């Protein structure tokens, strides 16, 4: 059975689009040619080629039979003859079939399966044209073929036979091309069997995994790990070679954040660390060559890095001529958002918001409000510096470094340094309470103001990264356990309340892995602060598997339904004098006891365990007592008892949200 090889030869494809492009090619190939079977389907690629290998295809797709319905038998021979003629057969070749309307003539049309070669040459142009890329281009002219970069050759070989077709004016063939510089200048004939070797001889390693290993082998143990950079370099090269270079140790006086941003982000170098964790004056570059025998590439990269470092040093020196505190007025000229004014306006809003939060925290946590206020005043000033203009990804960090260099004190400098953190769900939160509050107010202000002017994320559109901002606030509040209410800060903004609740729920479910119903249950009571929510959730999650809990939750659901149907609003507490001895009186007594012990305990786990212990009493109550007593006073008193029960414990969680076994069958 034949093997098939496809190679789309293109000009350099952006590194980050190669894997998704291959994934899409694979899926589309599978969908179109799955009928040919095959024992393996492999895709891989380099910047200049997307490659697909399908093993053991059928020579020919299986024949297919289609049943074409003809006229009813009752319509007579004439009609049947007409039908047969249309199919190009004689009447004797027709079959008969019974259906709802009676017996009818049918024709079993046999379609011969296409040969693999035919099907491939027929369908591949469409498949290649359909591979999705986030930003495609045309190169043959207006309205012409689109792809990620111009296609320059296509190899399509079934065993050793070329599969012929044409895409964007390029005719498929049986040749590939080697490495741009190191490979043969001529097209190289290949078969399925020789493909990898021919390319290897021409300095192309087709498999990404192998390129990755080749880079890793060349890195050395003292190189700082950087998976993202590694992946980028795997897809920027066809024949990667790691080379090591150095720089003058005098540059190490610059902050390591700046040095490593220049090396990793701007130059795509790996950084090298010493045993004590500090930066070594070295770097590792990954070239698309087979070594650097004359050291010219090393020298070139060293010169570029020197220029970059000189720039950074120059920016640092120029920036120190004007302290951050002297830059405060300049923020009036830096726009935050067209409708929301300047960064001076933003800072103006942060001051009272932070003051309010610090006040709320006053007696509950240790926080220095004056540090927060000083940090707020200075935190955006680095936006006016040369350094941040050049290295925008270092905003905040540069401010913190400058604040430290300008004698602002470690707590202020630290808060500024970390105030964009966390930048992702994997990132850590600011370390100090002052830094945490600064980060929260900065993001919260962005959320509040953007929502006010209708900049609300929808679908994939979130240009102001509001989801990330909300997620950052939530992560800080859960992890720092700062005891103040988030929702109080967004009162009167229902859309934002919903948005934040949705992000909280997302965080607890997707990041923390709690079940959906437990999250909904603890989010039902009004929020005090998120750490408290986390405690209740934690306790609920622990107590849930205990024997009494889920049945009790089912009972709560029942209570809720009873109260809803009875349409009682204000019941007040039950009147103990109206209680009947037996299950009703017992439930009440247990309730009062559990209530007292739950109130006395500071542990949600104990509270919930105590509540769960009510289960037998509740069961017995429902078993023996008719809530809808003919006497309205008694009925009312029973509803009051149930309502007290529900209200008392619903501050911890709404137990009726818990999905229980057989809950749907519960009757009122």
Partner 1 sequence: MDSFQDTIFKLKRYWADRGAVIQEPYDLEVGAGTMAPETFLRVLGPRPYKVAYVQPSRRPADGRYGENPNRLYKHQQLQVILKPTPDDVLDQYLGSLEAIGIDLRKHDIKFEEDNWEAPTLGAWGVGWQVMLDGLEITQFTYFQQCGGMDLDLIPAEITYGLERIAAFLQNVDSVYDIEWAPGVKYADVRLADEEQFSVYNFELANVDRLWRLFSEHEAECAELLAGFAPENRRFPVLAAYDQVLKCSHVFNLLDARGAISVTGRVGIIARVRKLAVGVAEAWVRQQFAVEEAVA
Positions in the binding site for partner 1 (CB under 8 A): 11-12, 14-16, 47, 135, 137-144, 149-150, 152, 180-182, 236-237, 267-269, 285, 287-289, 292-294, 296-297, 299-301, 303-307, 310-311, 314, 333-335, 338, 342
Smaller CB distance to partner 1: residue 224 or 432?
224
Long-range contact set of residues 432-436: C-beta below 8 Å, sequence gap at least 24 = 433/361, 433/365, 433/366, 433/367, 433/480, 433/482, 434/367, 434/368, 434/371, 434/372, 434/375, 435/375, 436/476, 436/480, 436/482
Smaller CB distance to partner 1: residue 333 or 364?
333
Residue 338 Cβ vs partner 1, minimum distance, rounded to whole Å: 4
Longest dimension (CA), the chain: 105
Instruction: Tell me the backbone φ, ψ of residue 576, rounded to 5 degrees.
Output: -60, -25
Smaller CB distance to partner 1: residue 223 or 522?
223
Smaller CB distance to partner 1: residue 59 or 306?
306
Smaller CB distance to partner 1: residue 342 or 505?
342
Residue 300 Cβ vs partner 1, minimum distance, rounded to whole Å: 3
3-state DSSP assignment of residue 287 = strand
- Please state whether 76 falls in left (phi above 0), alpha (psi between -120 and 50) or beta: left
Cβ–Cβ under 8 Å, residues 121 and 165: yes
Cβ–Cβ under 8 Å, residues 339 and 361: no
Residue 284 Cβ vs partner 1, minimum distance, rounded to whole Å: 12
Residue 407 has which token pair?
Answer: 């004698």
Smaller CB distance to partner 1: residue 130 or 295?
295
Residue 571 Cβ vs partner 1, minimum distance, rounded to whole Å: 57
Residue 73 has which token pair?
Answer: 């038998």
How far, in Å, CA of 522 to CA of 538, rounded?
10
Cβ–Cβ under 8 Å, residues 240 and 211: yes
Smaller CB distance to partner 1: residue 330 or 479?
330
Residue 472 Cβ vs partner 1, minimum distance, rounded to whole Å: 23
- Whether the CA torsion 393, 397, 403, 406 is positive or negative: it is negative
Residue 303 Cβ vs partner 1, minimum distance, rounded to whole Å: 7
Cβ–Cβ under 8 Å, residues 622 and 578: no
Smaller CB distance to partner 1: residue 268 or 481?
268
Give yes or no for a cis peptide into 422 (omega within 30° of 0). yes
CA distance between the termini of the chain:
67
Residue 129 Cβ vs partner 1, minimum distance, rounded to whole Å: 17
How far, in Å, CA of 285 to CA of 188, rounded?
30
Residue 151 Cβ vs partner 1, minimum distance, rounded to whole Å: 10
Cβ–Cβ under 8 Å, residues 269 and 263: yes
Residue 642 Cβ vs partner 1, minimum distance, rounded to whole Å: 59
Residue 660 Cβ vs partner 1, minimum distance, rounded to whole Å: 54
Q: How far is CA 385 from the centre of its chain?
A: 33
At a CB cut-off of 8 Å and minimum separation 6, what does 385 contact?
Answer: 315, 319, 327, 398, 402
Residue 354 Cβ vs partner 1, minimum distance, rounded to whole Å: 25
Smaller CB distance to partner 1: residue 148 or 559?
148
3-state DSSP assignment of residue 67 = strand
3-state DSSP assignment of residue 264 = helix
Kindly report the number of other CB atoms within 10 A of residue 620's CB atom: 15
Smaller CB distance to partner 1: residue 347 or 521?
347
Residue 150 Cβ vs partner 1, minimum distance, rounded to whole Å: 8
Smaller CB distance to partner 1: residue 144 or 352?
144
Smaller CB distance to partner 1: residue 284 or 416?
284
Kindly report the number of other CB atoms within 10 A of residue 225's CB atom: 10
């Amino acid at each position: 059975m034949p093997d098939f090889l496809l190679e789309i030869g293109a000009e350099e494809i952006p590194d980050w689009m190669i894997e998704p492009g291959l994934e899409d090619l694979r899926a589309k190939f599978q969908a179109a040619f799955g009928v040919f079977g095959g024992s393996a389907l492999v895709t891989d690629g380099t910047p200049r080629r997307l490659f697909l290998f399908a093993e053991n295809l059928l020579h020919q797709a299986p024949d297919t039979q289609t049943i074409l319905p003809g006229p009813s038998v009752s319509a007579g021979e004439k009609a049947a003859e007409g039908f047969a003629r249309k199919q190009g057969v004689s009447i004797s070749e027709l079959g008969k079939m019974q259906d709802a309307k009676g017996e009818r003539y049918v024709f079993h049309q046999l379609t011969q399966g296409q040969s693999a070669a035919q099907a491939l040459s027929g369908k591949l142009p469409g498949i290649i044209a359909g591979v999705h890329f986030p930003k495609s281009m045309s190169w043959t002219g207006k309205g012409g073929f689109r792809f990620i970069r111009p296609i320059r050759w296509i190899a399509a070989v079934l065993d050793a036979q070329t599969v012929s077709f044409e895409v964007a004016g390029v005719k498929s063939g049986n040749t590939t091309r080697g490495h741009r510089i190191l490979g043969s200048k001529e097209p190289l004939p290949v078969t399925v069997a020789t493909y990898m070797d021919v390319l290897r001889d021409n300095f192309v390693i087709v498999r990404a995994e192998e390129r990755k290993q080749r880079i890793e082998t060349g890195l050395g143990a003292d190189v700082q790990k950087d998976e993202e950079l590694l992946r980028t370099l795997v897809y920027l090269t066809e024949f990667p070679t790691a080379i090591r270079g150095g720089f003058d140790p005098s540059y190490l006086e610059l902050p390591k954040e700046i040095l490593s941003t220049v090396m990793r982000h701007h130059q795509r170098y790996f950084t090298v660390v010493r045993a004590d964790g500090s930066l070594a004056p070295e770097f590792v570059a990954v070239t698309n060559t087979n070594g650097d025998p004359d050291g010219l590439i090393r020298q070139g990269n060293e010169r570029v890095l020197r220029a970059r470092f000189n720039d950074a040093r120059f920016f640092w020196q120029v920036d120190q001529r004007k302290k951050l505190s002297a830059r405060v007025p300049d923020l009036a000229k830096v726009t935050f958002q067209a409708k929301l004014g300047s960064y001076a306006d933003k800072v103006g809003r942060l001051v009272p918001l932070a003051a309010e939060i610090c006040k709320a925290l006053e007696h509950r946590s240790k926080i220095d409000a004056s540090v927060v206020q000083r940090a707020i005043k200075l935190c955006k000033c680095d936006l006016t510096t040369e350094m941040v203009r050049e290295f925008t990804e270092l905003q905040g960090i540069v401010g913190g470094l400058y604040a430290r260099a300008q004698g602002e004190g470690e707590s202020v400098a630290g808060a500024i340094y970390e105030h964009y953190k966390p930048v992702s769900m994997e990132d850590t939160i600011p370390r100090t309470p002052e830094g945490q509050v600064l980060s929260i107010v900065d993001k919260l202000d962005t959320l509040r103001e953007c929502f006010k002017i209708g900049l609300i994320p929808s679908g994939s559109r979130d240009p102001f990264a509001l989801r990330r901002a909300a997620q950052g606030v939530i992560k800080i509040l859960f992890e720092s356990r700062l005891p103040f209410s988030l929702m109080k800060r967004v009162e009167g903004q229902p859309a934002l309340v919903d948005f934040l609740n949705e992000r909280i729920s997302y965080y607890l479910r997707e990041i923390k892995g709690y079940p959906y119903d437990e999250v909904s249950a603890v989010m039902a009571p009004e929020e005090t602060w998120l750490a408290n929510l986390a405690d209740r959730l934690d306790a609920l999650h622990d107590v849930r598997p205990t024997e009494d809990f889920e049945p009790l939750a089912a009972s709560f659901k029942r209570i809720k339904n009873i109260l809803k149907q009875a349409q009682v609003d204000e019941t007040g507490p039950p009147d103990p004098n109206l209680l009947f001895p037996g299950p009703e009186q017992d439930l009440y007594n247990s309730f009062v006891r559990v209530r007292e012990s739950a109130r006395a305990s500071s542990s949600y786990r104990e509270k919930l365990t105590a509540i769960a212990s009510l289960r037998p009493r509740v069961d017995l109550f429902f078993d023996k007592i008719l809530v809808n007593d003919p006497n309205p006073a008694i009925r009312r008193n029973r509803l009051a008892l149930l309502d007290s029960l529900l209200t008392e414990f619903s501050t911890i969680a709404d137990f009726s949200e818990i999905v229980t076994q057989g809950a749907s069958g519960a009757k009122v």
